[in-house]
Amino acid sequence: MPRLLLTPGPVAIPDFVMDALRKPVIYHRTEEFEHFYASFLVQLRALFQTEQRVCSLLGSGTAGVEAAMYSTFHKGERVLVLENGKFSKRWTDYAGLIGLEVIPLRLPWGKSFAPTTILDALERNPGISGIVLTHCETSTGVCLDLEEIAFAVKRHHPHILLLVDAITTLGAIPFYFDAWQIDLAVLASQKALMSPAGLVAFACSELALEKMHPTHKSDYFNLYNYLKAAESFSVPYTPPVQILYAVQAALTHILEIGLPRHWNQVHRLSRLFKDGIQKLGGEIFGESPSDSLTAFGFEATDLLKLKHELIQQYDIHLSGGQDELEGKILRVSHMGYLTEADMKRTLEAIEKILM
C-alpha cells in the first residue's frame, strides 16, 4: 500500500497539483504574470465566496495571520482574541507583541465559544475594535459556529472588525465571506487547498481596508501593499510562482467539482471516520468537532505507540496531540486528496493494532 499522509497540514497532494509545480517559471513583472494572476484572483474570490478584495502572500499560515493582525490593528487598540488551543494562543501572544491591548477570552482546549459568551465579553470590555477568531483549532479539531458568531456580533456591533483564521476550514467546510460579514480571512495552501506549503491568501472588506495604511514599499507584512498591487493584478514582492501554479490547479479542481459538492465530500469522509472511531470504542475529542479533521483518543491506550505502529506497519502518517494534548489525542485530516477507501484503510489498521 502506498504511503498515506493524514496530518492536518501538510496534506496528501494530488498528482495534477504536483505536475503544476513543474510548469515553466515566468517573471512576475510581465503581462504574462498579470494575466495569470488576474484569473487566479477570480478563483480566490469564488473560494472565499466574496466579491470584495483578495490577495496572496508568500509565507506560512502563521505569517498570514500575523500579517493580517499587523496590517489591521494599531498600537494600543483593544482587541478580543478567542483562545481555545495552540494556534489561537499564538494570536493572543502576537497581539501583545505588536502592542495591542489584548483581551483574551480563554476556554480550555477542546471547548467552543457560544455567541453569547462573546457578546458578554464585548459588553464587559467596552471599546473593543476587533475580534480575532480561529475558525477551526487545528490543535483540537474544535470548529466555531462562525456564521452564528458573526451574525450575533455584527448585529450588535457592526463596526467591530472580524478577523478570521480560516486556515483549517477554507475549502474544506462551508465559508461565506460576504454573507457572514467577515472583514478579513486568511487561508493557507497546505491545508484544504491540497497544495504544497508556501502561499497564504486573504479576503478583505472595506471596513478592514479602511484600517490599513500605506507605508514605505519595504514592509513585507503590510497587506495594504498587496491589496493595492492586486488592483492591477500584481504583487509587491517576488511571488512563489510554482506554488501559485499548484494552488491554481487545486482551485480549478475544487471549483469544477463545485464548492458545495466538495464540502459535502469532506463531510462524508469526516462522518465515515468519526463513526468508525466510535464503533471501535474511541472518543471524538472536543465540542463541535470540525469536518476538516478528527481529533480522537482511546481510553487506556498508548496513543503514541498506536501512531508509531500505524507508520511502521501500514505507512499511515497521522498527527499526535500538541503541547498539553500530547499523548492524549491523535489527529487525522479530512483535508487533502483523500478517498473513503483511505479512511477505511486507516480504520482497519487502527482496529488491527488495537486488537
**Interface positions with a copy of itself (CB under 8 A):** 3, 5, 7, 9-13, 18-19, 21-22, 24-30, 58-63, 66, 90-91, 93-94, 96-97, 188, 190, 196-198, 215-221, 237-243, 317, 319
Task: Assess contact for 219 and 186: CB atoms under 8 A.
Answer: no
State the minimum distance, in angstroms, from the CB of residue 7 to a copy of itself. 4
For the record, the C-alpha cell of 28 comes out as 512576475
Residue 60's Cβ-count burial label (10 Å; 0-12, 13-18, 19+) is middle
Strand 293-297 relative to strand 199-204: parallel, antiparallel, unpaired? unpaired
For the record, the C-alpha cell of 335 comes out as 483535508
> Closest CB to a copy of itself among 11 and 163?
11
3-state secondary structure of 57: strand
Task: Assess contact for 323 and 331: CB atoms under 8 A.
Answer: no
State the minimum distance, in angstroms, from the CB of residue 93 to a copy of itself. 3
> Closest CB to a copy of itself among 238 and 278?
238
End-to-end CA distance of the chain: 21
> Closest CB to a copy of itself among 115 and 236?
236
State the minimum distance, in angstroms, from the CB of residue 22 to a copy of itself. 5
Q: In angstroms, rounded to a whole number, what is the distance separating the alpha carbons of residues 184 and 245?
A: 24
State the minimum distance, in angstroms, from the CB of residue 245 to a copy of itself. 10
> Closest CB to a copy of itself among 26 and 255?
26
State the minimum distance, in angstroms, from the CB of residue 60 to a copy of itself. 4
> Closest CB to a copy of itself among 240 and 282?
240
Residue 137 CA: distances (Å) to CA of 90, 114, 156, 290, 334: 11, 15, 26, 9, 14
